[in-house]
């Protein structure tokens, strides 16, 4: 299967449009205004799907199987309380405390109508017929209940493609997600049909994803060594999404970031983001001294930049070694800004040449300490395709990371 950026962009827009149709249908049914959050095209391994989905919360879903022009599963997933609130909106006589037959029927009807909104959008754009099975009400915490049995779920280390859209009801606590889990051969056929360029071989993207995993692990090891705070990689995935959606992913709070531009094959941008409390934890660990400033003085900025510089080297040197190329990165830029503003400069520069991006999104977590680090690695799409065409996937895992880094200048400035 070959992944063409233009074809993936078409699928992304279809998924976004389908989310809008589904949200509109919910509004008509309930009278509650809705809005579509971030739509993602995720490349996730079976173990990551399980970890992401099985978060300990009770979920309710409506699942249908797809056949014809697109094969796979389409699932509306609500947390249990959100589903009960929708039932209460639709059925005034319902006490909305348990899922009796009446409440199950109402939830199933809502989920089916919304699922159909997503699928109708796909069928219209693809100019094909997609058949939808009888909807199935599911309730529980197991990923198999929602995405199918063991034969349909990807294996722990297999990379699967999963579309995800988040919808919320304005002014309420109702929020839910839609998952489209296409069958591999069916999606490959659609990609071949829509491909306009050479594309990226799927197994090459799988190899590059494993490279990113190794890079994230190297970052965690580096952070542990430099700060003395035991850290590990908790969540990571490869997203394909529009550049304008990336700022929506960033928490709306004051953030501290270290940004790099890297050049070579591939080129792109690398961004480490900490919340303020995590950044202060880093400073306390690396520069144990009292500071009277509410923000970050020059020494504190220098410490954070030094950590970012070494982490960037560990992340990118692994890529360069496997790709047998050279990747140079810029000196670190210190960022201290609110939410999306922390990533806007990177998005603006990338947006001059492309609309979509493969984004390696990783979270490094410290055990028992406030030290969460979000990593965004965003390669230029043309450079990424060239790099992956030359990638020998057998080198992944066999080539060591040898992190070398340049000294950080003892100057900085907020941006």
Tell me the pLDDT tens digit for each residue of 281-296: 888 877 776 655 567 8
Average pLDDT over residues 3-11: 84
Ramachandran assignment for 171, one of left (phi > 0), alpha (psi -120 to 50 degrees), beta (any other): left
> Is pLDDT at 188 greater than 70 in this prediction?
yes
Q: Which residue, among 18, 92, 360, 80, has the nearest Cα to 215 in the 3D structure?
A: 360
Q: How far apart are CA 318 and CA 116, in angstroms?
A: 44
Q: How far apart are CA 284 and CA 386, in angstroms?
A: 42
Angle (deg, nearest 10), helices 202-227 and 381-389:
110
Place of tokens 């319902």: 94
Q: Which residue, among 360, 385, 375, has the nearest Cα to 265 in the 3D structure?
A: 385
Q: Which residue, among 151, 164, 152, 60, has the nearest Cα to 110 in the 3D structure?
A: 60
Q: How far apart are CA 162 and CA 183, in angstroms?
A: 10
11, 191, 313 from 5: Cα distances, Å: 10, 10, 28
3, 71, 157, 241 from 6: Cα distances, Å: 9, 21, 27, 12
pLDDT at 216: 82
pLDDT at 68: 93
Looking at per-residue pLDDT, the higher value among 403 and 310 belongs to: 310
Please give the helix or strand (H or E) that residue 103 lies within, else none: helix 101-126
pLDDT at 371: 67
pLDDT at 34: 85
Q: How confident is the model at residue 63 (pLDDT cuts 50, 70, 90)?
A: very high
| Torsion of Cα atoms, 406 then 408 then 409 then 415, to 10° | 120
Q: How confident is the model at residue 335 (pLDDT cuts 50, 70, 90)?
A: very high
Q: Which token pair is 130?
A: 């997609």
Looking at per-residue pLDDT, the higher value among 327 and 293 belongs to: 327
Q: Which residue, among 109, 249, 33, 77, has the nearest Cα to 178 in the 3D structure?
A: 77
Q: Which residue, among 378, 319, 312, 316, has the nearest Cα to 343 in the 3D structure?
A: 378
pLDDT at 294: 67
pLDDT at 411: 38
Average pLDDT over residues 205-219: 82
Instruction: For the chain, give the percent of residues with pLDDT over 90.
Output: 12
| Torsion of Cα atoms, 92 then 93 then 99 then 105, to 10° | -80
pLDDT at 108: 92
What's phi and psi for 103, nearest 5 deg? -70, -35
> Is pLDDT at 248 greater than 60 in this prediction?
yes
The strand pairing partners of 122, in sequence order, are: none
pLDDT at 133: 93
Q: pLDDT averaged over the chain?
A: 82
What CATH number does domain 2-194 carry, 4.10.520.10, 3.40.50.11900, 3.40.1550.10, 3.40.50.720? 3.40.1550.10
SS3 content of the chain, % helix, strand, coil (to 5): 45, 30, 30
Q: Which residues of 247-271 are buried (b: 16+ CB within 10 A; e: fewer)?
A: bebbeeebbbbbbbebebbbbbbbb
> Is pLDDT at 85 greater than 90 in this prediction?
no
pLDDT at 131: 93
pLDDT at 400: 54
> Is pLDDT at 107 greater than 80 in this prediction?
yes
Other beta carbons less than 10 A from residue 132's beta carbon: 18
pLDDT at 397: 62
Q: How far apart are CA 395 and CA 363, in angstroms?
A: 25
Tell me the pLDDT tens digit for each residue of 160-170: 888 888 888 78
Helices (H) and strands (E) in the chain, counts: 12, 16
The strand pairing partners of 275, in sequence order, are: 255
Maximum separation of any 2 CA atoms in the chain, in Å: 69
> Is pLDDT at 154 greater than 70 in this prediction?
yes
pLDDT at 1: 76
Q: How confident is the model at residue 413 (pLDDT cuts 50, 70, 90)?
A: very low
CATH number of 200-395: 3.40.1550.10
Q: Which of 159-163, 183-187, 407-411 has the lowest mean pLDDT?
A: 407-411
| Residues with Cβ within 8 Å of residue 98, at least 6 apart in sequence | none
pTM of the model: 0.77
| Residues with Cβ within 8 Å of residue 52, at least 6 apart in sequence | 44, 235, 237
CATH 3.40.1550.10 segments of the chain? 2-194, 200-395
Is the separation of the CB atoms in 265 and 387 below 8 Å? yes
pLDDT at 406: 42
Q: How confident is the model at residue 95 (pLDDT cuts 50, 70, 90)?
A: low
Q: Which of 66-75, 93-102, 184-193 has the lowest mean pLDDT?
A: 93-102
Tell me the pLDDT tens digit for each residue of 343-382: 888 888 888 888 888 887 777 777 766 567 888 888 888 8
Is the separation of the CB atoms in 160 and 43 below 8 Å? yes
> Is pLDDT at 240 greater than 60 in this prediction?
yes
pLDDT at 61: 92
């Amino acid at each position: 299967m070959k992944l063409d950026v233009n074809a993936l962009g078409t699928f992304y827009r279809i998924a976004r449009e389908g989310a809008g149709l589904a949200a509109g249908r919910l509004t008509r049914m309930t009278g509650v205004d809705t809005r579509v959050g971030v739509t993602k095209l995720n490349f996730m391994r079976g173990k990551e799907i399980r970890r992401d989905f099985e978060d300990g919360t009770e979920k309710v879903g409506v699942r249908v199987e797809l056949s014809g022009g697109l094969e796979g599963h389409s699932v509306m997933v609500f947390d249990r309380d959100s589903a009960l609130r929708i039932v209460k909106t639709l059925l005034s006589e319902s006490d909305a405390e348990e899922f009796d037959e009446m409440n199950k029927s109402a939830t199933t009807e809502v989920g089916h109508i919304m699922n159909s909104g997503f699928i109708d959008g796909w069928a219209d754009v693809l100019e094909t017929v997609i058949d939808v099975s009888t909807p199935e009400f599911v309730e529980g915490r197991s990923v198999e209940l929602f995405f199918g049995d063991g034969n349909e779920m990807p294996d722990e280390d297999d990379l699967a493609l999963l579309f995800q859209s988040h919808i919320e009801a304005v002014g309420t606590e109702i929020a839910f997600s839609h998952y489209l889990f296409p069958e591999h051969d069916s999606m490959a056929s659609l990609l071949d049909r829509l491909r306009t360029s050479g594309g990226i071989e799927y197994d090459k993207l799988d190899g590059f994803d494993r490279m990113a995993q190794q890079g994230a692990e190297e970052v965690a090891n580096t952070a542990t060594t430099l700060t003395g705070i035991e850290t590990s990689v908790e969540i990571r995935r490869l997203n394909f999404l529009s550049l304008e959606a990336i700022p929506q992913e960033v928490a709306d709070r004051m953030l501290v970031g270290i940004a790099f531009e890297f050049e070579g094959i591939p080129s792109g941008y690398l961004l480490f983001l900490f919340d303020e409390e995590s950044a202060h934890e880093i400073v306390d660990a690396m520069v144990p001294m009292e500071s009277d400033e509410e923000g970050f003085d020059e020494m504190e900025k220098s410490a954070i930049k030094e950590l970012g510089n070494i982490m960037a080297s560990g992340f990118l040197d692994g890529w360069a070694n496997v790709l047998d190329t050279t990747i140079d990165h810029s000196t670190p830029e210190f960022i201290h800004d609110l939410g999306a503003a922390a990533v806007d400069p990177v998005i603006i520069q990338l947006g001059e040449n492309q609309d979509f991006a493969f984004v390696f999104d990783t979270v490094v977590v410290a055990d028992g300490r406030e030290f969460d680090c979000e990593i965004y690695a965003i390669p230029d799409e043309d450079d990424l395709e060239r790099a992956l065409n030359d990638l020998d996937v057998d080198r992944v895992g066999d080539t060591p990371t040898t992190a070398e880094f340049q000294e950080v200048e003892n100057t900085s400035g907020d941006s």
